[in-house]
């Protein structure tokens, strides 16, 4: 049933995107003739770069692909983005007080695909250099679940909160860092696993594109989400071909996986000794003693459930 739904969804997306793509030149001509309003660009910056993935165990598998991102100033956005947090929601979630920027791949011809979007949350309104916190917005494919969490952009270690791939289990932690976006931006995530070690790395490196060189944003991002989806499915097929174990979604085997991720994350925040190597061997009494001797709060997590028929 789920496979049938996936095939129908791909076909539906293909047909709707094809029709909307045919209409794109007409929209562009109307805009050039002044018959259609141009999109506001004051709160929008464009980036172009490369995503790189490398898996080192149990088999080696690496690839890279070109991407285009939009960096949106949420406080100056003309209209709210329905699938993302507003500026006020992001500030409440991150505990920040200044402007909020969202790095994301915009919808193109009716389709959206964002494995990772980032919110950059600042604390001083008149300074673009004082980046306080970031919010990672991770979406898994094909389930469409979403996990949000706050992290320190300088460097942070987070217990894995979301089943992002059927070729990765829920064990291990994400080491993540990001720079404040300027002419260049950088995001790096590595997976630290209790048995596989530091076995997976993903990076995004991008440069700002001059807005004067982009005549139409809809053309600039045309089929960008579709290309990302193709890369996800194609390399999943390659991993399956290389006999990497297929792992069932934890909701089928361990419905409490989210709560367990929060507990593991609190161990990381409060007790560094309960890291990758010792996490499974940390006794409850030891953990409670560690919590009592430190002053740390729980990280903020938020989940969105999968839609039919994936839930």
In a domain, 112, yes or no: yes
Q: Of 59-68, 82-91, 261-270, which range is least confident?
A: 261-270
Label residue 20 exposed, middle or buried (CB < 10 Å: 0-12, 13-18, 19+): middle
pLDDT score of 39: 52
In a domain, 89, yes or no: yes
In a domain, 108, yes or no: yes
Q: Of 22-26, 227-231, 279-283, which range is least confident?
A: 279-283
pLDDT tier, 252 (very low <50, low <70, confident <90, very high otherwise): confident
Give me the chain's average pLDDT, please.
85
Number of domains composing the chain: 1
pLDDT score of 280: 47
> Distance between CA 40 and CA 193 in Å, rounded?
44
Helix axes 284-292, 257-270, angle to 10 degrees: 50
User: What tokens were used for 82?
Assistant: 């329905």
* Region label for 114, one of left (φ > 0), alpha (ψ between -120 and 50) or beta (otherwise): beta
Of 274, 170, 212, the closest CA to residue 45 belongs to 212
In a domain, 101, yes or no: yes
In a domain, 11, yes or no: yes
Q: Judge whether residue 256 has pLDDT over 90.
A: yes
In a domain, 311, yes or no: no
Q: Judge whether residue 77 has pLDDT over 80.
A: no
Cα dihedral sign, 274-180-140-262: positive
Distance of CA 102 to the CA centre of its chain: 11
> Distance between CA 21 and CA 19 in Å, rounded?
5
Q: What is the pLDDT of residues 180-207, one digit of tens each?
A: 999 999 999 999 999 999 999 999 999 9
Q: What percent of the chain has pLDDT over 70?
A: 81
Of 159, 136, 156, the closest CA to residue 267 belongs to 159
- The parent domain of residue 147 ranges over 2-304
In a domain, 309, yes or no: no
């Amino acid at each position: 049933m789920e496979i049938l739904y996936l095939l129908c969804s791909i076909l539906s997306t293909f047909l709707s995107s094809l029709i909307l793509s045919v209409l794109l030149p007409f929209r562009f001509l109307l805009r050039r003739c002044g018959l259609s309003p141009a999109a506001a660009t004051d709160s929008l910056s464009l980036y172009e770069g490369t995503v790189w993935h490398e898996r080192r165990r149990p088999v080696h598998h690496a690839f890279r692909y070109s991407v285009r991102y939009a960096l949106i100033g949420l406080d100056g956005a003309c209209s709210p983005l329905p699938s993302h947090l507003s500026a006020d929601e992001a500030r409440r979630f991150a505990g920040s007080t200044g402007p909020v920027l969202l790095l994301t791949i915009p919808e193109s011809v009716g389709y959206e695909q964002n494995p990772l979007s980032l919110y950059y949350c600042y604390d001083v309104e008149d300074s673009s250099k004082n980046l306080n916190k970031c919010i990672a917005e991770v979406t898994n494919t094909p389930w469409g679940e979403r996990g949000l969490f706050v992290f320190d952009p300088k460097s942070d270690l987070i217990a894995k909160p979301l089943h992002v791939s059927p070729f990765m289990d829920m064990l291990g932690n994400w080491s993540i860092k990001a720079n404040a976006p300027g002419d260049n931006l950088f995001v790096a995530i590595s997976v630290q696993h209790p048995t596989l070690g530091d076995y997976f790395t993903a990076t995004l490196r991008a440069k700002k594109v001059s807005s004067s060189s982009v005549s139409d944003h809809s053309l600039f991002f045309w089929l960008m989400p579709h290309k990302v989806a193709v890369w996800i499915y194609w390399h999943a097929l390659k991993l399956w071909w290389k006999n990497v174990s297929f792992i069932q979604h934890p909701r089928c085997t361990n419905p409490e996986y989210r709560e367990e991720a929060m507990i593991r994350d609190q161990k990381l925040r409060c007790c560094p000794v309960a890291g990758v190597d010792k996490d499974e061997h940390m006794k409850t009494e030891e953990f409670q003693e560690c919590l009592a001797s430190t002053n740390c709060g729980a990280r903020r997590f938020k989940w969105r459930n999968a839609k039919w028929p994936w839930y």
